[in-house]
Structure 1
Amino acid sequence: MHIEFTQADESHVEDLVELVNSAYRGDSSKKGWTTEADLLDGQRVDEDGILDNIEREGSVILIAEDDDTGKVLGCVHLEDHKGKCYLGMLTVDPTLQKHGIGKMLIQESEAFAQFWGCTHIYMTVITVRTELIKWYEKHGFKNTGEKKPFPYGDERFGIPKVDNLEFVVLEKKI
Structure 2
Amino acid sequence: MTEVDHQLVFRPATAADVPALVALVESAYRGESSRTGWTSEADLLDGPRTDDAAVAEAVGHPDGVVLVAERDGELLACCQLQRHAGHAYFGMFSVRPGLQGGGLGRTVLAEAERLAAEEWGVSVLEMKVIEQRADLIAWYERRGYRRTGVYTPFPYGDERVGIPRRADLRFETLTKELAG
Deviations 1:81-125 (A, max 9, x none): 111000001110000001111111111111111111210001000
Matched, 1:39 2:44: yes
Describe the superposition over 1:19-58 as per-residue Cα deviations: whole angstroms up to 9, x where unpaired: 0001100000000000000100111111111110011110
Which residues of 2 match residues 79-158 of structure 1 at below 5 A?
Answer: 79-114=82-117, 115-158=119-162
Matched position secondary structure for 2:114: helix
Aligned to 1:4: 9
Moved over 4 A (4+): none
**1:49-88 → structure 2 map (5 Å cutoff):** 49-66=54-71, 68=72, 70-88=73-91
Is 1:26 equivalent to 2:50 in the alignment? no
Number of matched pairs:
172
What secondary structure is seen at the aligned counterpart in 2 of 1:171?
Answer: strand
Q: TM-score, normalised by structure 2?
A: 0.94
Q: Give, in whole Å, the separation in 2 of the partners of 1:118 and 1:152.
A: 32
Q: What SS does the corresponding residue of 1:86 show, helix, strand or coil?
A: strand
